[in-house]
Amino acid sequence: MAAGPVLLFAVVSVAPSALFWAALRVPAACRWLRRRRVAPVPSEPPVEQVAADLRRVRRTLAQLPSGTPAARRIGTRQAYDELLVIACREIGVEHRLDGLREGADRDLERLRIEDALSRKGFVLS
């Protein structure tokens, strides 16, 4: 029987301190959890980086000498196309590069995309 009042006295004595401690620590813990959860990892490089890469690869593609191996030409062109697809996705321009094979249709689609991107303010030159 004597344990009841002692236990009640312990709870009443410790409870205000525990509540005050929680009132100070819980908001900081919530902010810490929110910062950890909200920090998104970007899935694509920033638009500025894509634009710089596009300009660099476009310049490389235009300056390839006439004796350049076909594998290098095709690889550079594929890199350029991939960067165009990323730019289209980030800017919101429709493209059909995924469904076209190498040739005149793909070249025309590249020109159309370059024009659409430049009209949206994406500087390629």
Q: Is 52 exposed, middle or buried (0-12, 13-18, 19+ CB in 10 A)?
A: middle
pTM: 0.66
Instruction: Give the single-character DSSP code of 42.
Output: P
Give the other-Cβ count within 10 Å of 81's Cβ: 20
Query: Smallest Cα–Cα separation from 51: which of 77, 76, 78, 86?
Result: 86
How high is the pLDDT of residue 39? 59
pLDDT > 80? residue 40 = no
Give CA separation, 57 vs 9, 24, 43, 79, 110, in Å: 77, 55, 21, 7, 14
* Overall average pLDDT of the 58-82 stretch: 93
Q: What is the mean pLDDT of the chain?
A: 87
Domain boundaries of the chain, sorted by first residue: 1-39, 47-119
